[in-house]
Amino acid sequence: MTVESPDTAESAAAVKAEDEASFRYGIVFLLTFGLVVFTIAAPAADWSRAVALAIEGTALIVAVATAREQKETTRRREAIGVLVVIILVIAGVAFGDIPKYVSAATIALATAAIPIVISRGTVRLMRRRGVTIQAVAGALAIYLSIGLMFAWTIAFIAQVDTSTYYFAQHTSGNSSIWVYYSFTVLTTTGFGDYSAAYPVGHALAVIEELTGQLYLVTVIGLLIGNFVGNQQAKRSAAKAE
């Protein structure tokens, strides 16, 4: 049995405490999951767009503030900058002063930024602590963000080309339908109540299906496997001691 020196034990405890106080990707995952459910269930209105922006903005702020990738002062400035922009846009959307395309662009940018921030922080976390529950939560948050990014891409196409319907069901949809349809495609569920009408939509659906399946099989599968292995190794080490 190896005996650690007090200094080494204190150093390890300090690193563990710092990690536990950071990388709050479980919160980001829950916020992103809540955004998906809310967007599908809520009616299309200014207040619902404002709430969606608030949820996504909060998720991005948490991801930036806890990533431990940069100096604390830099992270704080970035988080405050994101907060100010989100509050201004939310206020404008809530009072109907900002066009829909501006709020749509803002939430799309926030959604796209989350996987970038999380992926960098997750790599840093795994280098320091291995595969933890926070790393798995970060990967799942990225998966949900992928579905949302495809939904906003569909929204952009549907709103730009107003001469035709995006769906074969003679509708271009709304935010609820776009997110609902995106996740039925991402998970290859395919209920059939909505389907793309034209080749661009067909190609986008195939790309999303492949992305979702490859991500689950490779990234999520490997992380879950390593997480379970790490937990078993820790239990075995504890028994050996």
Per-residue pLDDT of 148-196, as tens digits, reads 999 999 998 888 888 889 999 999 999 999 999 999 999 999 898 999 9
**pTM listed for this prediction:** 0.84
| DSSP 8-state class, residue 196 | B
Token pair for 221: 């599968």
pLDDT at 201: 95
What are residue 168's phi and psi, to 5 degrees?
A: -70, -15
CB 179 within 8 A of CB 149: no
pLDDT at 105: 81
pLDDT in tens, 61-92: 988 887 665 566 777 788 888 888 888 888 88
The domain segmentation of the chain, as residue ranges, is 21-229
